[in-house]
Amino acid sequence: MRAWLRTLSAALALAGCVGEPPAPTAPDAAPDAALDEIADAAPDAPGDAASARDGGSLLVRATCAAGAAPGPSPLRRLTHAEYDRTVRDLLGTAQRPASAFDPQLREGTLDTDVSNLTVSPSLLARYLDAADALAVEATANAAAVTRLMGCDPAMGVEAACVDQFVAAFATRAYRRPPSADERVALRARFDAGRAAGGNVASGARAVVRAAVSSPLFLYRIEVGDGRPAGGRARLTPWEVATRLSYLARGTMPDAALFDAASRNLLATPAERAAQVRRLLRAADMTAPHPDARDVVRRFHAQWWGLGPLDAMIERPDGQRDAARYPEFNADLARSMREETLRFGDALVFEAGRVSDLLGASYSFLDARTARLYGIAGAFDGTFRRVTLPAAQRAGLLTHASLLTVNAGGAVASPIKRGVFVLDRVLCAPPQPVPGGVNNVPPAPDTTRSNRARFAAHTQDSYCASCHARIDPLGFTFEHYDAIGRWQSVENGAPIDARGGAEVDGVALAVDDAVGFAARAAASNQVRDCAVQWWFRHASGRAPTEADACALAAMRGALTATDRHFEAMLVALVSADDFVTRAAAN
């Protein structure tokens, strides 16, 4: 890290990685000393913690060693989306309390990342307010109370009904049967509420309020079965059910999963595989389950960095140069996003293969996107699967959504596009932009190509240390303008989209992005990177070497004959790591 900082601080003496050669800008800097320091720092950059930034790979290369302890299982709070779905399923409410919570998703991260799951006093206050509003609604009238409690306390022995309600409700709220102490505590809440309000509804309200604001509800607590062995603690069946349910549906276990947990069926990989297949689908077992689809879409939108598109949909004016892109508006941006999310649905729910990620010859278009892509045919407001023009489009990378997000308002950005592919598809991100560098490109001009604007990147050796990897990859997208339209001519000259990248350790030279996609689609690197993003989504953290076994299982599933993303998820839940955690946690 220090070497990295040193390298970057040295860069203070340099400026202007665009357009013109760098010149010293800080009058009191000592350029010579700074350059010496670069030379100094260079050799020790690889190998330390900063190596990933220096164009290194984030891919975990360790091999699976039998008996090794699994990676850490950080304690996870429900995400805001999970919170909303969970209270919906627990209480049948139509309230969406999390819309009032502080947003916590940071740009470039996944909302399931444990680093996004902190609790501030203001969020805690919102949780308490939400618990109160939910409890009030759930006990609004006699019928609601009876439905909530599952028995009518007026129709027999009240105490028995209350005890049964407390046990059943806590089991669902805590996603496991409550301990005796916990039952006593909730029973005391009931009694206090009943005494204060003078009726059963007040008692039930106090129980709901307390349970929904408990850390046992807000966090996915895992304590294991209390018999750790070989550095591993085995999860209880309830904890396994919870992992399965939040992975597949982003909510609490349903009745069937609770039932499987209570009968201790989830210990076998086969049963877990069957459960995850079931959870992904609606009751007819063909269409995706709406919650599963929402979870997948949210993940894809974050992995693929579609966040800026939401801002464009919310406020399209000013996002694109109106003279160049008069057709750009919120509707078009929405259609772009839908194309990509629909494509992601197909990957997971329609037997998509990992090679489709970059190599798919199909996509899903409506009238707006079809027009943008220059595809004739009868399109309307609905999306249908179409075969793409093979010379112009292939897989995810040529989606208008990504091409738009990774562009400026007037012209495309080969830099953003190159960085996107390196970071999100190849798991080999470049190091962050150093200080002292003007990374705002010069204005587009009509006398030269967009590509030529970035010549300084490769002329200057300092800039080239990063841009030698970024730019050639980004240039392969030169055929697509700032809203993802195909163009063959720029400023009267034919477009030069030649470029390349290193994939699987081999330098590829390609004619354009479609060529790159064709060469990289079936690579191990793209597969392994996709696996790691999915692992991170499922685990709340980036993978480490300790996760080699789970990763190997997931990779294996994508390499086997069916090569489906669903098979990868099945492999993930089948792995022993899915039902254990490090004993030291």
Partner 1 sequence: MAPRTLSRRDILRGLGGAAIALPWLDAMGCKVDAPAPYDATVTPDAIPAEGPDATLADAAYDAAQADAARMRDGVGPRRLLVVTVPNGTIPSQWFPTGGETDFALSPILQPLAAHRNDLIIFKGIDNTVTPHGHFEAMCSMLTGFPQFGDREQEFLGASISLDQRIAQMQIARPDAPRFGSLVLGTNGAQSGVGVVSYRSAGNVVPKIQRASQLFEQLFPVDARAAARRRATQQSLLDSARDDYNRLRMALGAADQAALEGYLDAIRELERQLAASATALTCDPGVPAFGTGQNDGRHLPEITRDHIDALVLALRCDLTRVATFVTRSEGATSSYTFGWLGIGPSGDPYGIDSTDDATSTSHHSMSHNDATPRNVDYLTRVGRYFTTQLAYLIQKLKDTPDGPGGRSLFDSTTILYCSPIARGAHDTRDLPWLLAGSCGGAFRTGRYLTYEHASHLDLLASLQQAMGVPDERFGALDHCNGPLARLRA
Of the residues 62, 168, 221, 375, which one makes contact with partner 1 according to CB under 8 A: 221
Q: Which amino acid is at 7?
A: T
CA 433 vs CA 11, 277, 430: distances in Å? 10, 43, 9
- Near partner 1 in 519-548, by CB under 8 A: 542
User: What torsion do the CA atoms of 556, 562, 567, 571 make, to the nearest 10 degrees?
Assistant: -30
Q: Which stretch binds partner 1 (CB under 8 A): 68-76, 290-298, 372-380, 552-560?
A: 68-76
Query: Sign of torsion, CA 545 550 553 554?
Result: negative
Of the residues 31, 197, 269, 444, which one makes contact with partner 1 according to CB under 8 A: 444
Least distance to partner 1, CB of residue 4, Å: 10
Mapping DSSP to helix (H, G, I), strand (E, B) and coil, where does residue 362 land?
A: strand
Contact 449, 482 (CB under 8 A): no
Per CB under 8 A, does 230 bind partner 1? no
- Near partner 1 in 280-339, by CB under 8 A: 315, 317-321
Which of residues 259 and 317 has its CB atom nearest to partner 1 in the complex?
Answer: 317
Which of residues 39 and 323 has its CB atom nearest to partner 1 in the complex?
Answer: 323
End-to-end CA distance of the chain: 27
555 DSSP 8-state letter: H
Q: Classify residue 423 by burial, with Cβ atoms within 10 Å: 0-12, 13-18, 19+.
A: middle
Q: Which stretch binds partner 1 (CB under 8 A): 150-158, 262-270, 442-450, 506-514?
A: 442-450
Q: Where does 114-198 have alpha helices with state H? A: 121-138, 142-149, 158-174, 180-197
Which of residues 69 and 265 has its CB atom nearest to partner 1 in the complex?
Answer: 69
- Count of CB atoms within 10 A of residue 104's CB? 19
Tell me the number of residues near partner 1 by CB under 8 A: 81
Per CB under 8 A, does 448 bind partner 1? no
Mask of contacts with partner 1, 373-412, x by CB under 8 A? Answer: -----------------------------------xxxx-
Per CB under 8 A, does 68 bind partner 1? no
Which of residues 133 and 151 has its CB atom nearest to partner 1 in the complex?
Answer: 133
97 DSSP 8-state letter: G
Least distance to partner 1, CB of residue 27, Å: 10
Least distance to partner 1, CB of residue 46, Å: 16
Of the residues 54, 82, 84, 182, which one makes contact with partner 1 according to CB under 8 A: 182
- Near partner 1 in 84-143, by CB under 8 A: 102-104, 106-109, 113-115, 118-125, 128-129, 131-132
- Near partner 1 in 235-254, by CB under 8 A: none
Of the residues 59, 68, 168, 185, which one makes contact with partner 1 according to CB under 8 A: 185
Q: Which amino acid is at 531?
A: V
193: which residues sit within 8 A by CB, 6+ positions away? 202, 203, 204, 205, 206, 207
Least distance to partner 1, CB of residue 362, Å: 31
Of the residues 30, 33, 49, 195, which one makes contact with partner 1 according to CB under 8 A: 49
Least distance to partner 1, CB of residue 506, Å: 26
- Count of CB atoms within 10 A of residue 412's CB? 26
Mapping DSSP to helix (H, G, I), strand (E, B) and coil, where does residue 516 land?
A: helix
Which of residues 24 and 269 has its CB atom nearest to partner 1 in the complex?
Answer: 24
29 DSSP 8-state letter: -
